[in-house]
Structure 1
């Protein structure tokens, strides 16, 4: 009971601190959220609170909102940390865009402090170990094969292991050579909590991914409509306003988009936004000739198309089964005497 009340008190304190920073028009609504039984989660699911924060976020070293995000993430409460991570799509989008347009570094120090805090926490939790994934070996029988036991003469082959992320090195400053690693690690932390993120945060992430890709040419729909003219004319020159695609950021972006696109509990609005973002990334990868991105985005687009076709077919069959049919007249057989 004590730990629960301590968590609630800490969350209410942080919400009141946020209300003191934001314009007075938003303070009353935030105060109402602080009085709920689960204040941190109430703030997390509030689109009005997100709108107030997004319109006031500046990113400089003196930005009180960045200070609030930084201090809130340093708390040990998991709900408060989740709240900070929910703003990561907005923060990352603003930060990468301003870096690309050569903003004054001092105007980005607040963003960098929050990103470094998230990176430091993840570095500590990994304890110098890489993130690994076991790759299935199709030559080996699975648990569904019969017989379940392998022959005694068989030799166990070592399983293939892939490295999702190498061991993280501690960083206390945002260097240009490590920026992609730090931002990508922060996005990985977002992905680790993706099932608890509200819809508005996922929508913001899809907008971030689409803006990051920066490609709206006809070839983005070449997997939907086999228009040879669009395919031939779509591959033009890349504009100078587009942000560079880096693999450290691309990997978590694709994982998050995959969840937004195919997660069964996501609202249709999130799925549609993810569908558009994936197609923009596919077009950008096709222009930049990035094989990994082309394969991944192409697979996501094909899965999206199949899912939508299956849903459409299911809806049609359901409507047909519910349509009342005219009763048939009984057949009359004429028998000659």
Structure 2
């Protein structure tokens, strides 16, 4: 099916109630990457262009819809764990490496990965950076797990060329044991020019923190997602605008159930309501689909789920393992995960 027809068919699938849906259904179309890395960082630029970042310092890029992938990994980065990547086209991207102390780094390319420049290296042994997000092609934030009782925010105003730690005065105190999960590059997400949300877990309550001023001041709201354990919490967020959000997560341990592992907000994250029919298991990534205002997809190690009502109910359409998902405005939706798995969303005839 052509790309244009695929988008139209997906729009039809997600636009109608279940009893009126046509036969075609969404399906992941795996792409051969030639890599065995685990790609938890993913940036969809378009139907044709996407970037993936993962283990052993691996970065891949495609500009032909996944038919071929270029290994554009930074030289000497084999010991780094890339968990998030933000791209601004086929040539510009910012990638985040996670870990304690100097393992947390930010690298940037302006030539499609031919060359990379390290623009930040963490020197605080108490900091551990998890995720990065951008409001536009200049302004962005990266988040560290709590340092001295509060989440730490790193800010850039020049597209990732330079970074500075923001004051923590406007950040609420972290709960005991609270942290964020570097599972899909979606623990810190933005919408519009100033709003940003942070997903948390590990504490007594799984919370979502919101800032309307690019990270200077924050408010915190509890969610219905399972909490109370270091393996539980909100793992990923997606906001289609400054009001409508979806949170997914649960318990990442394979032998543990994850009931109520999704929640929705219609007021910018001020309050959260449990999904009436959540995904059947832990999910680590979520994205709004560009085919309609109420459609979204969630992914995790045991499957992928579709919602056509803003995250209130979900149905599984794939049982493969993916860690993260990213959709571009032109309808290109991608997922990635373990053993070099990368796929683009298409249509099956079943």
Higher relative contact order (CA 8 A, sep 6+): 2
More helix by share: 1
Larger Rg: 1
More strand by share: 2
